[in-house]
Amino acid sequence: MSALPVGGPGLPQRRNLVTEIPGPASRALAARRSAAVAPGVSSVLPVFVTAAGGGVLVDADGNSLIDFGSGIAVTSVGNSASRVVDRVTSQVAQFTHTCFMVAPYEGYVEVCEELARRTPGDHPKRSALFNSGAEAVENAIKIARHYTGRSAVVAFDHAYHGRTNLTMALTAKNMPYKQGFGPFAGDIHRVPMAYPLRWPGGPQACASEALDTVKALIHAQVGEENVAAVIIEPIQGEGGFIVPPDGFLRDLAAFCASQGIVFIADEVQSGFCRTGDWFASEHDGVVPDLVTTAKGIAGGLPLAAVTGRSEIMDAVHVGGLGGTYGGNPAACAAALGAIETMEAEDLASKARRIGEIMLPRLRKLAGEHPVIADVRGRGAMIAIELTRPGTLEPDPATTAAVANYCHSRGLITLTCGTFGNVIRFLPPLVIGEDLLEEGLGILEDAFASLEA
């Protein structure tokens, strides 16, 4: 057997298909997979990965694919960033685990110091570390309830907050996330999202009406004094990369402050330079009371956090928060390497540059193909929404056809959206511009092929 390619700086940054997709080695692994892996866990791509880094994934057949997905907005610094690899390697040689609740270590504290420094607002902050985005969201709700002594939680249409029981209740979409998995946690109340394309009356009406609608529903159906927290993704992720109108988040946060409601920004997908700022909340000048982070924080290792105002975080009794692995030393080392990379390579600027390259080409494509109803997003969190031309009727079939075409040509794209009709682009922030342009060319070919 020939030596497998390794990730890291040596991995050639090019698309190169040497077999059909999937090739024979991936097909053989897929057969083993279906005999051993629960089918409830699915994969977007039919290929098995052996190395990855920069802007490419290499599969078991030696194909090299362009990555526009970053493992769902995780590998912003790449899949084998040298600062992450070096810090994790030396950490696991020192010790892999003690459990922070048994015997603490410096890395955990350093990550919390970085979170205090990087998240919006210069008020005193504390953080607690966890393993996944869902776990961070659950803990943010626990903390908000404990602090306020209230129990109701308000979440939005199209929201995605995770797959655990409480976070399934917060997540809007039934299939595949909730179907058959109830009963769900109680006292969760859903309000409409400021979704410019689909707001009755259109984007202008959305900007002027959305917050009033939310406030009226909370008043009539929940009662402000019962609400512990409002939780929102500053740009919604799984729900379709929905960008609220400027000012919506700011005014929503101000409303929460006026009612003693904890405002939680779920920055699990939008955080850590993805949108061109360290956090997407910054675009609207919002200072959330609590911020949940995960994904991009640690270059691919499992780590998540709740960061928030000291007075809120300090309300929880000693021992009320934790978990065996939360803030694992290797994950903390990875986070410190990832954050160092973001700073040293100014990845927020890279994200903005990616947006500047992608948006004009996507807008041109939308002009040529009326199936593209909307081009939206910020920085390196960009999407197109597909509908039957001239209508708002979602077109998930064309969406899937375009994604499949891209996969067969060696471009990894992901879909999303409540109606399955959004193609999202989340390239690693370190991707080369040549690969970015080549990937966009494949997407353009995909739309051209629809006509053929």
> Which residues of this protein are in contact with ligand PLZ, per CB under 6 A?
72, 132-134, 137, 160-163, 233, 237-238, 266, 268-269, 294
DSSP state of 6: P
Tokens of 341: 């990379």
Residue 132 vs 421, nearer CB to ligand PLZ: 132
3-state DSSP assignment of residue 159: coil
Residue 160 vs 195, nearer CB to ligand PLZ: 160
User: To the nearest whole angstrom, how small is the minimum distance from the Cβ of residue 371 to ligand PLZ?
Assistant: 25
Write the burial class of residue 246 (CB in 10 Å: 0-12 exposed, 13-18 middle, 19+ buried).
exposed
CA gap 208, 340 in Å, rounded: 40
Residue type, 303: L
Residue 52 vs 137, nearer CB to ligand PLZ: 137
Residue 23 vs 326, nearer CB to ligand PLZ: 326
Residue 328 vs 387, nearer CB to ligand PLZ: 328
What backbone torsions phi and psi does residue 415 show, to the nearest 5 degrees?
-105, 170
Residue 105 vs 241, nearer CB to ligand PLZ: 241
Please answer whether residues 422 and 385 qualify as being in contact, where contact means their C-beta atoms are separated by less than 8 angstroms: yes
Please answer whether residues 297 and 136 qualify as being in contact, where contact means their C-beta atoms are separated by less than 8 angstroms: no
CA gap 356, 350 in Å, rounded: 10
- Nearest residue relative to ligand PLZ (C-beta): 133
What residues contact 126, with CB distance under 8 A and at least 6 apart?
Answer: 112, 116, 307, 308, 310, 313, 314
User: To the nearest whole angstrom, how small is the minimum distance from the Cβ of residue 139 to ligand PLZ?
Assistant: 12
User: To the nearest whole angstrom, how small is the minimum distance from the Cβ of residue 368 to ligand PLZ?
Assistant: 31
User: To the nearest whole angstrom, how small is the minimum distance from the Cβ of residue 410 to ligand PLZ?
Assistant: 23
Please answer whether residues 337 and 330 qualify as being in contact, where contact means their C-beta atoms are separated by less than 8 angstroms: no
User: To the nearest whole angstrom, how small is the minimum distance from the Cβ of residue 344 to ligand PLZ?
Assistant: 26
Residue 53 vs 237, nearer CB to ligand PLZ: 237
Residue 132 vs 399, nearer CB to ligand PLZ: 132
What residues contact 332, with CB distance under 8 A and at least 6 apart?
Answer: 91, 105, 107, 108, 110, 111, 129, 298, 303
Question: Which residue blocks in 119-241 are alpha helix, DSSP H?
Answer: 133-148, 165-170, 202-217
User: To the nearest whole angstrom, how small is the minimum distance from the Cβ of residue 218 to ligand PLZ?
Assistant: 21
Q: Where are the beta strands (DSSP E) in 214-366?
A: 227-232, 262-266, 290-293, 304-309
User: To the nearest whole angstrom, how small is the minimum distance from the Cβ of residue 314 to ligand PLZ?
Assistant: 24
CA gap 247, 286 in Å, rounded: 9
User: To the nearest whole angstrom, how small is the minimum distance from the Cβ of residue 379 to ligand PLZ?
Assistant: 16
